[in-house]
Amino acid sequence: MPVKKICVVVTARPSYSRIKTALTAIKNHPNLELQLVIAGSALLGRYGNAVEFIEKDGFTVIDKVFMVLEGENPTSMAKTTGLGVMELANVFYKLQPDAVVTIADRFETIATSIAASYQNIPLVHIQGGEVTGNIDEKVRHANTKLADLHLVASEDAKQRVLKMGENPSMVFNTGCPSIDLADEIKNNSTLDFDPINKYGGVGSEINWKEEGYIVVMQHPVTTEYKSARKDVEETLKAVYELNIPTFWFWPNVDAGSDGTSGGIRSFREINKPQNIHFFKNMEPQDFLKLLTNSKCLIGNSSAGIRECSYLGVPVVNIGSRQNKRERGNNVLDTVYNKSEIIKSIRNRISAKNIVSENIYGDGKSGQRIANILAETDIKYYKTIMY
Amino acid sequence: MPVKKICVVVTARPSYSRIKTALTAIKNHPNLELQLVIAGSALLGRYGNAVEFIEKDGFTVIDKVFMVLEGENPTSMAKTTGLGVMELANVFYKLQPDAVVTIADRFETIATSIAASYQNIPLVHIQGGEVTGNIDEKVRHANTKLADLHLVASEDAKQRVLKMGENPSMVFNTGCPSIDLADEIKNNSTLDFDPINKYGGVGSEINWKEEGYIVVMQHPVTTEYKSARKDVEETLKAVYELNIPTFWFWPNVDAGSDGTSGGIRSFREINKPQNIHFFKNMEPQDFLKLLTNSKCLIGNSSAGIRECSYLGVPVVNIGSRQNKRERGNNVLDTVYNKSEIIKSIRNRISAKNIVSENIYGDGKSGQRIANILAETDIKYYKTIMY
Amino acid sequence: MPVKKICVVVTARPSYSRIKTALTAIKNHPNLELQLVIAGSALLGRYGNAVEFIEKDGFTVIDKVFMVLEGENPTSMAKTTGLGVMELANVFYKLQPDAVVTIADRFETIATSIAASYQNIPLVHIQGGEVTGNIDEKVRHANTKLADLHLVASEDAKQRVLKMGENPSMVFNTGCPSIDLADEIKNNSTLDFDPINKYGGVGSEINWKEEGYIVVMQHPVTTEYKSARKDVEETLKAVYELNIPTFWFWPNVDAGSDGTSGGIRSFREINKPQNIHFFKNMEPQDFLKLLTNSKCLIGNSSAGIRECSYLGVPVVNIGSRQNKRERGNNVLDTVYNKSEIIKSIRNRISAKNIVSENIYGDGKSGQRIANILAETDIKYYKTIMY
Amino acid sequence: MPVKKICVVVTARPSYSRIKTALTAIKNHPNLELQLVIAGSALLGRYGNAVEFIEKDGFTVIDKVFMVLEGENPTSMAKTTGLGVMELANVFYKLQPDAVVTIADRFETIATSIAASYQNIPLVHIQGGEVTGNIDEKVRHANTKLADLHLVASEDAKQRVLKMGENPSMVFNTGCPSIDLADEIKNNSTLDFDPINKYGGVGSEINWKEEGYIVVMQHPVTTEYKSARKDVEETLKAVYELNIPTFWFWPNVDAGSDGTSGGIRSFREINKPQNIHFFKNMEPQDFLKLLTNSKCLIGNSSAGIRECSYLGVPVVNIGSRQNKRERGNNVLDTVYNKSEIIKSIRNRISAKNIVSENIYGDGKSGQRIANILAETDIKYYKTIMY
C-alpha cells in the first residue's frame, strides 16, 4: 500500500485542539504522511499564535498562509476567505496531497474546501453535521456538500450528514479528537502549574488557590456582531458582581472581535475588576486541567458542550452560539442578562449530580481518524444519494 | 411596502438565458429594484461577450467584475473563485442589496454565495436541487446550503432541496426562466434570419437552407479536463463523417476549455470540414429558433435537456455532464464514441413521436420569480430542519 | 474650463495631516471636484480610525478600501500593497478621475501610483524628492518615476526631483500643507482643551498642567523591524528615568508595529510608569497645539522636522528614520541609547535660541496645490529629460 | 565564499531571450545557485508557452506563478500586477533568496521589484536606463529606483541610471544577454531548419526558399491600445501589397493584444493573404537564424534595435515603441502608414552598407552578469547620491 499524503489545514487556535491527536496519529501511521498547513489567525500574535504551540508539540509545518484582512467586519471576513482560496489553491497545487482535511465550521474553512475540491483533490471534512444556527452552520453544511469523506463527532451529527444525501460508506462517527485530550487529563487532573506564573496575562492577582475559581470564554456570534459588545458587558457585570476569582480568555478572531474585545477593554479601564485575570491563550492540555479544577465554565465556547461533558465540569452556556448541539447533564443554558447569568452560575456551582458522558467521543478519536484515512479509498467526485 | 433591492450576479453567457425573463420581471415589478452585476467570463470577448447582449436588451449594468485568471486549469478555476469572493464582497458592501441572487452551479457562483452570506445579506439560489455528478453538483448543493431562499426549476429538484433540510416555506418550484424564452419561440418559430449573415463565424458556407442542419454544442466536463480534447474529437469525427450541414458553437470558459477548443482548431486545420460552420455565440432567442428548426441538437448542453424538451427538439446527449437531470422523451443518451454518436444522431433525426413536455417550466417562470422575491420575507439566517 | 475630477487617496492617519488643507482647497475650487478615497490603515480602529476625523471635518468619502493584511511583517506589507493595487484599480476604473493624487512615501502609496498610471490616468505625487534612507525612500522615488506632476515640499526636494530627470514644467515647490495647519496654530496657540479629558487614552493621570510636559512619537523603521522593540525600549527607559510628565502616541501601522507596540505594552505592565500617559491619536489641530505648548518632541516623527521647525518647537530626533531631510535649528539628532536620549532631551528643554523657519512651507500650500491642479494640463505620459 | 541564491523571475517569452545566457552562467557558476521562477504570460499557451522552451533548455523551474487576469485592458493589467505582488511575496518568502533579479520594463516586472524590496531582499534590475516613452518607461525607471544593483545594456543607459542618482559602484554596463545568443548565430548562421515544418503555424505555404522572405513582429503599444488594431492594419496592408513571402509573429500579451490579434485575424479571414505565414513563437536561436537570413525585419520589436544591430540585419521600425533607444545604421524609422511602410521596406531591402555594431553587447554578457552577481556585495538598502 503506497503512503498517502494527508494535508491538514489548521486556521485557528481552537481548531488545533479539535485535531491534535489525529495529527499525531497521522504522523505516526506507517501508511500516511502528514502535510500540515497553518493559516489565518493561527499565525497571528493577536489571536494566540497557535503556530508556536504546534511547532513546540513537535509538528513540522510545511506551509504558512497569511490571509487575514484587517477590518474585523463581515466584509473583511468574506475577503479573508476569498484570499484564502487563492493562497490555498497554490499550496495544494504544490503539495499535490492525496487528500485535504478541513476542520469544522469557521468561516475560512470553506476556503480549504474550495481550493481542494476545485483541483480534484479528495476532501475530508471533520465534524460536520452539527447544528449551531448562524453563519457557522451554513459554512459547515456547505463544507459537507463539497467534501467526499465525513468524519463526524457524534451519532446525532452522523444521522444529519446522511440525511443530507451523503454516501453512507463515506460517513464515520469517529468522536472528537478534543475528547482524546480530555481523556488524558481525566486520568491526571491535578492543576500542576500556576496559571498566572506560566501564562502572565493581565489584570488582578486573584486568590484562586484558596477560594477556587471560575473560567469565562466568550466569543462574538458572527451574524450578530453589532451586539457583541453589549453581550459581553452582561457577562462582565455578572462575573464582577459575583466576585469569585475568575480566569477570563480573550476571544479568537471573528467579525465582531472588536466588539467583544473592546467591551472587555473598556470594562477593565473603568471598573478595574479585582476578581478577574485575563489570558490570551493557554496550551490545550493546561486549559483542560484548568477547566477540570474549576467551579464552572461560563460563556459560549464549544468546550463547554464537548470537553466539559466528558470531564463532568459544570457549564453555563450563554446565548445562541451552541444552539442545537447535543448537550450533557453538565450544561445549563441561559441568555445575555446579568441576573440570569448570576443565577445560572450559582446553580451550576452548587450542582451535585454532574457525571461524565461519552456524547462526543471515548478518547480514541485521533487514532480512529488516521485509520479511516489510511484504509478508505477516497474519490474526488460523488453524487447525492437521492 | 418598501422597494426591495435585488442584486443578480451573472457570471457567464449561458446563465443569462437562465435568468433573462426574471430580470425583466424584477425590473418591471413595482416593489423591486434590479441591481444587475456582470462578472467573470460574461465580460470577455473570448467567451462571447455576453455583457453586450445584456446591455442591448435594455438592462443597466450596475457593476462589472473582472475576475477570470488565465490558465484554464483547475488551479486557475479555484483562484478565479477566490478573487471573485474578494471582488464581490466589495460590490455587495457598496450596493447594500436586500437580497443577492446566485444562479445554478458554475464554479464561480459560490463566490457570489460566500460574498453575500458572509455579509449577512439574504441569498437566493436559482436552480438548486439538480444532479449532474461532477464539481458542478458539489457547487450547486453547497450553494443550497449557503442560500436562504430556493427557486428551483422542477418538482424533482424541489424534493431534493427539501430532503437536504431546507425550510419548506423557503423552497419554490418556479420552473426555469429559460423555458419562458422557449415559450415565445414556440409560438413564433420561423427562422427569420440567416445565421451566417447575422453572426459571421468561421468555416464553410454550408447548404443549410435546402438540406436542413444539425446543431452541436459541447462543453468540457470539468473534472475530466484532460480528456476534453479526446472527447470532442469523437464528436467532430462523427459529425464530419455524417456530412450533414452543421452549426457548431464554441464552448464557454471552464478548465479544459483549451482541450475542447484546441481539439476543434486542430481538426479544422487538418480536415477543413466542408459541412461545418462555427459560431462563437448567438442571441438567446435566435439560438432557440435555430434549435427549433434543426434536425437535432448534439453535445452535452443543458439546453438539450431543458429548452429542447419544452420545444420538442430531438437531442443526442453525450457523456456524463447532464447525468441525472430529468429528461423528456426527446433525449437519447450516448457516449464519446464516433460510431455510437453517428448511430444516435441517425436515430434522433428519424424519430417520429417527439412531443413538448413541461418538466422545466410552463413559460411563466420569470414573473413567478419576481413575485416570490417581492412577497417573501427572506432572512439571512436559517437552520437545518432536522 | 470644465471641472476636473481629482481623486486623492489617503492611506494613513499621518498622510491626512499632510494633505488636509489641500483637500479643502480642492473641494472649494470652482474648477475642481474632489473624489476622496480612504484606504488601508486609515480605516482601522487599531491605527487611530482616521476616517472618523476626516468625515467629521466635513469631507465626503467616495470610497473605502480595506486592504491591510494582518501579520505585521515584511511579507504582509508586500501583500497589502498588491491587494491595494487590485482594489484601487477597480476604484479608479469606476471613478474615472482626471488625475489621481498619491501622498509621500508610505509603502502602500505605490499601489495608488500603479493603479492610476497603468490605467492611463495622470498621476500627481505630493512630497517627492525627500531623502530618508530606507524602504520609504525607494518607494518615494519610485512614485516620482510613475508620476506626471510633482508637488514637492521644499526647494531641496525640487532640485532632487529635477535631477532625476523630471520635466521642469511639471515640478512645483508648493510647501507642505501640514505647515498650513501649523500656521493656524501659530497664531492661536493656547492649549484650550484637556488632552486626557478629550481623548481618554490609558496610563497615569500625569500632572502636566503644573509641571509642563514632553511628547513622544516613535514609529518602527521598516527595514529594521526586528530591532523595533529594542529601540523603543531605550526611549521608554529614558523617558521613564527623566520622570517629566509625558504624552506618548502609539505608532501607526507598519511592519514592526508589533515590535514597537509590544515593547510599549510590556514596559507598561512591568514598570507601570507614573509619568506617562498614552494616546492612540488626536485631531491634527489639537496635536499641533499640544506640540506648541510642549517642552520638547521626542522620537522619529517627521512632524519634528517639518511642523516643529515652523512652530519653533524643540525636537530630539532619534535614529535613521528622518535621515537626510532638511532640518531647522530646532532639531537635535541622537541614537537609540538611553543616556544619549536623556542628554539630548535635557539639551533641548534648556535651549534658548530656537526660532521659526519656513523650510517646508509658508502656510499657503493647500491653496497653491489646488490652483496648480486646476491650471496645469497634466498628461498621463512622459519621458525622461536626458 | 558561501553560495548565493539568485532568484530570477521571467514573466514573458521575450524576457527569456533577454536573460537566457545569464541563466546558464548563473547555473554554472560555482558560487551561485539559480532559483528560476516562471510567471505571468510565460506560462500561458496563448502567449507561446515559454515555460516549455525553458524546461527543454534544461533549466529547473522552482516555482510557477499564475497571475494573469483576463480582460486585456488597462484595468486587468493593473490587477495582474497587484496579484503578482501578492503571489511573488509568498514565493520569495519561501525561497529566501540572497538577491532577486527583475528584467527590463514589462508592466508586471514591478511586481517582482515590490515583492523583493519590501521583504528586504536585494533587488537586481537588468536593462534599466533605456528610454521608450510610454508606460514601459515609467515602469523601467521605477524599477531602477527600487533596485539595488543595476546591470544595463549600453553605455547610454548606464549614464542615465547614474544621472537618476544611483550609486556608481552599483551600476554596470554588461551588455545584453540577447546579444550572446546573436553572437552564436553570427558565427553559424545557416538556416538549418524549415520554419513551417518545424513550427507549423497557420496561413499560406509561402515560397520563401526561392524568393527569400521578410519577418514581421508588431506588438501593441500599451498607452495607445485602442489604436492597436488600426496600426496593425497599416502594416498588414503594406506587407500584403508588397507580396514578398512573409513570416509574421503574433504579439505577446499586453493591454491591446486583442486589438492587434483581432486585426490580424480579421485581415486573414477577409483577404486570405497568400504571401503571409503566421507563427505563435519560435525558439530564440531559430528566431535569430530566421532574422539573419531575412531581407528585413518589420514592426516594433526591440530585437530590431538590439540583435539586428549586432547581426547587421536591415530593420524597418514603425511607430513610437522603441522611441529613444540607441540605434545602429541598420534601422530605418517610419510611421503607421501603408505607403510609408512600403517605401521603407523597399529602402531597407536594397540597402548596401549595413554593418554589425556592438551597441548592446559583445557576446559575453551572460557570463559578465553572473560574475558581477557573485562578486558584488549587494545591500537591500540605499540612498540617492544627491
- Sheet arrangement for strand C32-39: C61-65, C32-39, C4-10, C99-103, C123-126, C149-152, C171-173
Average pLDDT of span D320-339: 91
Residue D335's CB is within 10 A of a number of other CB atoms, namely: 12
Provide the 8-state DSSP code for C360: T
Which pLDDT score is estimated for C374? Answer: 98
Which pLDDT score is estimated for D256? Answer: 43
Residue B130: pLDDT over 60: yes
Residue D45: pLDDT over 90: no
Q: C70, A75: Cβ pair inside 8 Å? A: no
Which pLDDT score is estimated for C257? Answer: 53
d(CA D293, CA C147): 43
Residue C83: pLDDT over 60: yes
Residue B172: pLDDT over 50: yes
d(CA A368, CA A372): 6
Which residue of chain D has the CA closest to B69?
Answer: D69
Query: What is the three-class DSSP state of A316?
Result: strand
Please state whether C133 falls in left (phi above 0), alpha (psi between -120 and 50) or beta.
Answer: left
Which pLDDT score is estimated for B320? Answer: 84
What cell was used for A180?
Answer: 482524546
> Which of chain B's residues have a Cβ under 8 Å away from the Cβ of D202?
269
Which pLDDT score is estimated for B258? Answer: 61
Which pLDDT score is estimated for A329? Answer: 94
**Among A11, A43, A70, A81, which would you mutate to test the C interface (most chain C Cβ atoms within 10 Å of its Cβ)?**
A70
User: What tens digit of pLDDT does each residue of B23-70 get?
Assistant: 999 999 999 999 999 999 999 887 778 899 899 999 999 999 999 998
Q: Measure Cα distances from B106 to B70, C226, D225 in Å.
A: 17, 46, 32
> Which of chain D's residues have a Cβ under 8 Å away from the Cβ of C120?
74, 135, 223
The DSSP H or E segment spanning B101 is: strand B99-103
Looking at the DSSP bridge assignments, the partners of residue C318 are C334
Looking at the DSSP bridge assignments, the partners of residue D8 are D36, D101
Cα–chain-centroid distance for residue D49?
15
What cell was used for D230?
Answer: 488600426
User: What tens digit of pLDDT does each residue of B356-377 get?
Assistant: 999 999 999 999 999 999 999 9
The pair phi, psi for residue D132, each rounded to 5°, is -130, -15
> What value of ipTM does the predicted structure carry?
0.86
Nearest CA of chain D to the CA of B81: how many Å?
Answer: 12
Residue D248: pLDDT over 60: yes
Provide the 8-state DSSP code for C312: T
> For A290-299, b where at least 16 C-beta lie within 10 A, e where not — what string?
bbbbbbbbbb
The DSSP H or E segment spanning B220 is: none
> Which of chain C's residues have a Cβ under 8 Å away from the Cβ of D79?
85-86, 89-90
Which pLDDT score is estimated for C223? Answer: 56
Which pLDDT score is estimated for D382? Answer: 95
* Minimal Cβ distance to A137: which of B75, B90, B383: B383
What cell was used for B270?
Answer: 487538418
A297 contacts A308 by C-beta, under 8 angstroms: yes
Average pLDDT of span C344-353: 94
Residue B229: pLDDT over 70: yes
The DSSP H or E segment spanning D359 is: none
B35 contacts B112 by C-beta, under 8 angstroms: no
> Which of chain D's residues have a Cβ under 8 Å away from the Cβ of C77?
118-119
Q: Give the CA radius of gyration of chain C.
A: 20
> Which of chain D's residues have a Cβ under 8 Å away from the Cβ of C158?
none
Average pLDDT of span C58-83: 93
Q: A75, C66: Cβ pair inside 8 Å? A: yes
Which pLDDT score is estimated for C256? Answer: 43
Q: Measure Cα distances from D267 to A186, B203, C194, D263, D270 in Å.
A: 80, 15, 76, 6, 5
Residue D273: pLDDT over 60: yes
Which residue of chain C has the CA closest to A69?
Answer: C69
What cell was used for B122?
Answer: 439574504
d(CA A308, CA A314): 7
Topology (CATH) of C185-350? Rossmann fold (3.40.50)
Residue identified by cell 492543576 is A191
A217 contacts A250 by C-beta, under 8 angstroms: no
Nearest CA of chain A to the CA of D65: how many Å?
Answer: 9
**Would strands B4-10 and A331-334 be described as parallel, antiparallel, or unpaired?**
unpaired
Amino acid letter, B178: S
Q: Is D169 exposed, middle or buried (0-12, 13-18, 19+ CB in 10 A)?
A: exposed
> Which of chain A's residues have a Cβ under 8 Å away from the Cβ of D38?
none
The pair phi, psi for residue C281, each rounded to 5°, is -170, 180
D379 CB-side CA count, 13 A: 10
Partner chains of B (3+ C-beta pairs under 8 Å): A, C, D
**Would strands C202-203 and C276-279 be described as parallel, antiparallel, or unpaired?**
antiparallel
C265 CB-side CA count, 13 A: 11
Q: C82, D141: Cβ pair inside 8 Å? A: no
Which residue of chain C has the CA closest to B94?
Answer: C63
Which pLDDT score is estimated for D255? Answer: 45
Same fold, B4-176+361-375 and B185-350: yes
Nearest CA of chain D to the CA of C276: how many Å?
Answer: 34
Residues of chain A with pLDDT under 70: 1, 222-226, 252-258
Which pLDDT score is estimated for C114? Answer: 98
Q: Measure Cα distances from D87 to A119, A149, A267, D81 in Å.
A: 18, 31, 42, 10
Nearest CA of chain B to the CA of D38: how many Å?
Answer: 13
> Which of chain B's residues have a Cβ under 8 Å away from the Cβ of D49?
none
D80 contacts C43 by C-beta, under 8 angstroms: no
Interface of D with B (CB under 8 A): 41, 43-46, 66-72, 75-76, 79, 83, 202, 258, 269
Share of chain B above pLDDT 90, in %: 78
Dmax over CA atoms of chain D, in Å, equals 63
Amino acid letter, A58: G
Share of chain D above pLDDT 90, in %: 78
Domain with residues C4-176+361-375, CATH architecture: 3-Layer(aba) Sandwich (3.40)
Which pLDDT score is estimated for D205? Answer: 85
Interface of C with A (CB under 8 A): 41, 43-46, 66-72, 75-76, 79, 83, 202, 258, 262, 269
The DSSP H or E segment spanning B125 is: strand B123-126
What cell was used for B379?
Answer: 432572512
d(CA B336, CA B64): 37
Sign of CA dihedral B308, B309, B315, B318: positive
User: What tens digit of pLDDT does each residue of D16-33 get?
Assistant: 988 999 999 999 999 999
Q: What are the residue ranges spanned by the domains of chain D?
A: 4-176+361-375, 185-350
D122 contacts D327 by C-beta, under 8 angstroms: no
Which pLDDT score is estimated for A276? Answer: 96
Q: Measure Cα distances from B361 to B306, B322, C41 in Å.
A: 9, 18, 52
Residue C254: pLDDT over 60: no
* Minimal Cβ distance to B66: which of D45, D67, D79: D79
What cell was used for C25?
Answer: 482647497
d(CA B140, CA B138): 6
Q: Where residue D128 falls among pLDDT bands split at 50, 70, 90?
A: very high
Q: C70, A68: Cβ pair inside 8 Å? A: yes
Q: How much is the pTM? A: 0.85
Provide the 8-state DSSP code for C301: -
Which pLDDT score is estimated for A17? Answer: 84
Q: D70, B69: Cβ pair inside 8 Å? A: yes
Residue C204's CB is within 10 A of a number of other CB atoms, namely: 16
Partner chains of D (3+ C-beta pairs under 8 Å): A, B, C
Provide the 8-state DSSP code for C122: -
Cα–chain-centroid distance for residue A289?
17
d(CA D161, CA D266): 43
C144 contacts C171 by C-beta, under 8 angstroms: no
Mean pLDDT score across all residues of chain B: 92
Q: Measure Cα distances from C359 to A186, A199, C307, C366 in Å.
A: 72, 51, 10, 16
Residue B253: pLDDT over 60: no
Average pLDDT of span D33-42: 96
Q: Smallest Cα–Cα separation from D120: which of D140, D138, D100?
A: D100
d(CA B269, CA B267): 6
Nearest CA of chain A to the CA of C102: how many Å?
Answer: 22
